[in-house]
A and B are shown apart, each in its own frame.
Chain A
Amino acid sequence: MKKQINLTVNGKAYSHEVEPRTLLVHYLRDTLRLTGTHVGCDTSSCGSCTILMDGQAVKCCSLLAVQADGANITTIEGLAENGTLHPLQEGFREEHGLQCGFCTPGMIMTAADLLSNNADPSEEEIRHALEGNFCRCTGYHNIVKSIQYAANKINKKEVVS
């Protein structure tokens, strides 16, 4: 019954036997113990479980682990490089983009996808991109500012180099 999957998560190769019905989010949380990816709903509505799969933001509560066979996945744990925070992580801290922190990994991964497609989004574009992610704490105000902070930082870097 179990199926073999091979995938890369945060730069590391994994190979596991999984039940066909195991959700990707449960594989990441329970098998790989990457618990930064959260579960906030059962209708793919809240975005707490957002990760990057082959560079695209996906809600991994609505994917099966077997669908990730061969995929390259980044979770919140894999975003910082060599101990340096990603500009989005820095932005969320600088602009107080989180309170309880539960929605935060999903917000950051969603924003990472946005910024990789649109390096200089308007406020409206940011809000639109966050449509699939609930935050019950911040009223979104500082999340928008955090993403603007990251965009500015990334853009300045590009100008310099």
Chain B
Amino acid sequence: MTKMIGKSVKRVEDKRFITGKGQYTDDIILPNMVYAHFVRSPYAHAKILSVDTAEALAHPGVIAVYTGADVAEVNGVPCGWQVNFKSGETMKEPKHPLLVVNKARHAGDAVAVVIAESKEAARDAVDLVEVDYEELDAVVDPKKAAEDGAPLVHEDAPNNICFDWELGNPKEEVDAAIAGSAHVTTLEFANQRVIPNAIEPRSYIGDYDVAHDKYTLYTSTQNPHLIRLLLCAFVLGIPEHKVRVVSKDVGGGFGSKIFHYAEEALVTWIAKELGRPVKWTADRSEAFLTDAHGRDHVTKAEMGFDEEGNITGLRIKTYAAMGGYLSTFAPAVPTYLHGTLLQGLYTTPKIHVDVVATFTHTCAVDAYRGAGRPEATYLLERMLDTAALEMGMDPAELRFKNFIPAFNGVDEEGYVTNVALQYDSGNYHPVLQRALEMVGYEDFRKEQAAARENGKLLGIGFSTYIEACGIAPSAVVGALGARAGLFEVSQVRVQPTGMVSVYTGAHSHGQGHETTFAQVVADKFGIPLEHVDIVHGDSDSVAFGMGTYGSRSLAVGGSALVKSIEKVIEKGTKIAAHVLEAAEDDLEFADGKWTVKGTDKSIGFGDVSLTAYVPHNYPAGLEPGLDFSSFYDPTNFTYPFGAHIAIVEVDKDTGKVSLKRFIAVDDVGNVINPMIVDGQIHGGVVQGVGQAMFEQAHYDEDGQLITGSYMDYAMPRADDIPMIETDRTTTPCPHNPLGVKGAGEAGAIGSTPAVVNAVMDALSPFGVKNLSMPLTSESVWRAMNS
């Protein structure tokens, strides 16, 4: 049997998608189904004086209209992570109602929902619901929100502060280190708000079966079991065993489909009220207004250096928007997923980070591909390139000088950072070295100089990043405020014929688990890939699971899978020993069979499976069957790292930035399917490039989302992007059985600052040092011409 791990096996799941047979939630039509459409606040901040539903109710086809008053008794949507104030006081956690009662807190806040026999009737009747609003002043900027006198989002959160938080070395030590530095680089910038924009809009169907007193929620989520838990235990107060959550094919998530949304709870609740299935699918304009957004930090960073260019200290103050309500993981993003990454790859001896999280009259902000780590990387990498420019040093050299020396985490200790992490393994020089070779650094600098002579602006930008993923050890995240464990669950059910059904709590919404997980199983059992089936996304077949985010599927879910595989092999060995009349120690399992060492006596995987289910000739005292599940809770995060380099050309006359080349050398540990890993890197890189060059969720001062459609919100299109040049180094994760680290977010974490740094490099003849993202033609042109 050929090895399956490490091969670019073509994806098993593709067949249904390329033939149009995928089944996304909106593709499902249940008998007798009705349709929901929401009445949403046109104002960012408004008192709701009255809601009149009479005319809507009279509209043909309308069955019901629910308002905030109807669900006032139902709990709101909970937050899953608690971060405390520096003082120890708990964060402010205002109720997030399913439908608002007397106040709207962002444009798009749900005021009422119309249920009708058809989508069209529901949509028409939405315009007939009469809501009397009194518009109030709004605040949208995370820093301005904290100023005295700013309009309050929630009366019980003074100055709109959800929490303030700090991490790192004592502030005085960091102040002293920076004060004593030969050079200090200071940057103030925003990490602008962006919108995840999975191409499949969110879609939910609630169904209630009165005969069995059982609910089913079909949902486009990244984590069905987590949704079930939140829905049952926190929102609707219904018994968990009476709820099935199904999320089969999901059209991308990027974080935005982790969270429990009010619409999920509402369709479930209304299905029982009406005794009919209820479907809601977001329009793209609703998605813009209501899918949790990402980033939105306003930051001041100061980094000190000695004469040789060694970093001496780093001091950071960040304001991070939470939006109008706390989304599921929102408080964790600017704190434990951002502050903890500010060591980066560098030996920075003193670090202090201060984060103020504020409510704003905007859509909620939560994890978006990378979640906190892109913000940390952007900060560090902009500082490094800017410092290199200011100190007249080469940006690559400056990084080499400050890298943490290599350590493997096996016979050498992990690296303890100043910001609460212990890196498990790392070898940072080779990724940058390799990226420099691929780009042809020396030649590029010559080309750049020659181009400048000819009036052409070329630039090169660097980014060397580390991230913490494979989220995460439950005990660690519990201590940091998570209200859930973050283990993963697997079940390996060997059928009597030796075919294998695998049930995983991880969830694929593009990642290709049906292939990679099957590769692991086929490889370990020595059986054909076609003999393995991966089941996910249904809480009635998969025992439990925490879902997919934080690049955790293989590192955590794959490890849980290996545990179950090992249990099968262990029991199989007992059965094989009995049948072969040999001692267990004398057997070896390889290539799908157990062989008595040194003989040709063997029994195959299929025969052992059959024996387990037809246990006529069977070890005494051993249970029949071959079916194991496992929970795996990691001991640490995993720490992928890499070096990204961008080359851009800036048009002197128009300010247009063209991305000419992008080189990504990533170390994601061992790789199960290189083709899929490369695909993850390509996609991540382009999302990061999107933030650097095109994307921005822009709210005006009144809290109107100006970029509320694809006509106004620019995302990368095929002709904006070159081929992505990738390579890898391999530093295995020392603490999980596959040695894997995670590749889903790496691209998005590393790429953004590389592009911005490249543009700054191109603009250096103009003395431009700092520009806000996105780097539109207008802002670049203005910078060159001011």
Q: Which residues of A contact B (CB under 8 A)?
A: 19, 21, 26, 29-30, 33-43, 45-46, 48, 75-77, 79-80, 85, 89, 92-94, 96, 98-105, 108, 123-124, 126-128, 130-131, 133-144
Contacts and interface: CB of A to CB of B under 8 A. Distances in A.
Nearest to A36: B20
Given A21-B120, A41-B710, A130-B718, A89 B679 contact: no
5 contacts: A35-B27, A102-B199, A128-B718, A130-B718, A131-B717
Contact of B251 (A35, A100, A128, A138): A100
Contacts of A46: 199, 284, 710
Contact of A101 (B22, B285, B709, B723): B22
Pick the most buried of B120, B285, B682, B724: most chain A CB atoms within 10 A of its CB: B682
B24 A38 contact: yes
B509 A100 contact: yes
Nearest to B18: A89
A136 B19 contact: no
B261 to A, nearest CB: 18
Contacts of B717: 130-131, 133-134, 140
B715 interface: yes
Contacts of A40: 199-201, 284
A141 B716 CA distance: 12
A114 to B, nearest CB: 11
Contact of A96 (B252, B676, B686): B676
B199 A136 contact: yes
Nearest to A124: B719
A147 B684 CA distance: 21
B20 A128 contact: no
A144 B254 contact: no
Nearest to A30: B29
A136 to B, nearest CB: 5
A77 B198 CA distance: 23
Given A130-B718, A131-B718, 12 more contacts: A38-B251, A92-B18, A98-B17, A100-B250, A100-B251, A101-B14, A101-B17, A102-B24, A102-B199, A130-B717, A137-B683, A140-B686
A99 B29 contact: no
Interface in B676-704: 676, 678-680, 682-687
B199 A142 contact: no
- In the complex, the 5 A-B pairs of residues with the closest C-beta atoms, listed nearest first: A36-B20, A102-B251, A101-B17, A139-B686, A100-B510
Contacts of A39: 26, 201
B281 to A, nearest CB: 8
Contacts of A143: 718
Nearest to B675: A96
Contacts of A142: 679, 682
B724 A139 contact: yes
Pick the most buried of B120, B679, B718: most chain A CB atoms within 10 A of its CB: B718
B322 to A, nearest CB: 24
A33 B510 CA distance: 23
A93 B13 CA distance: 9
B601 interface: no
Contact of A141 (B13, B120, B723): B723
A80 B20 CA distance: 10
Interface of B: 10-11, 13-24, 26-27, 29, 119-120, 197-201, 249-252, 254, 283-285, 509-512, 675-676, 678-680, 682-687, 709-711, 715-719, 721, 723-724, 747
Contacts of A101: 13-14, 16-18, 22, 249, 251, 510
Contacts of B710: 41, 43, 45-46, 134
B251 A41 contact: no
Contact of B18 (A30, A37, A93, A138): A93
A94 B11 CA distance: 9
B660 to A, nearest CB: 14
B490 to A, nearest CB: 22
Contacts of A104: 17-18
Given A36-B19, A102-B251, A127 B718 contact: yes
Contact of B685 (A30, A34, A139): A139
A50 B686 CA distance: 23
Contacts of A77: 19-21
A133 B720 CA distance: 12
A19 B119 CA distance: 13
B252 A37 contact: no
Given A41-B710, A103-B199, A89 B719 contact: no
Contacts of A141: 679, 682, 686, 721, 723-724
A41 B718 contact: no
A100 B509 CA distance: 5
A37 B20 contact: yes
B11 to A, nearest CB: 7
Nearest to B711: A43
A138 B11 contact: no
A42 B16 CA distance: 25
Contacts of B680: 99
Nearest to A89: B18
B5 to A, nearest CB: 18
B719 A131 contact: yes
Contacts of A30: 29
Nearest to B8: A96
Pick the most buried of B251, B512, B678: most chain A CB atoms within 10 A of its CB: B251
Nearest to B27: A35
A134 B14 contact: no
Given A41-B284, A100-B199, A102-B199, A136 B20 contact: no
Pick the most buried of A40, A123, A141, A142: most chain B CB atoms within 10 A of its CB: A141
Given A131-B718, A134-B715, A140-B721, A102 B29 contact: no
A99 B284 contact: no
Contact of A45 (B21, B250, B711, B747): B711
Contacts of A136: 197-199, 252, 254, 683, 687, 715
B459 to A, nearest CB: 21
Contacts of B682: 138-142
A98 to B, nearest CB: 6
Pick the most buried of B284, B511, B747: most chain A CB atoms within 10 A of its CB: B284
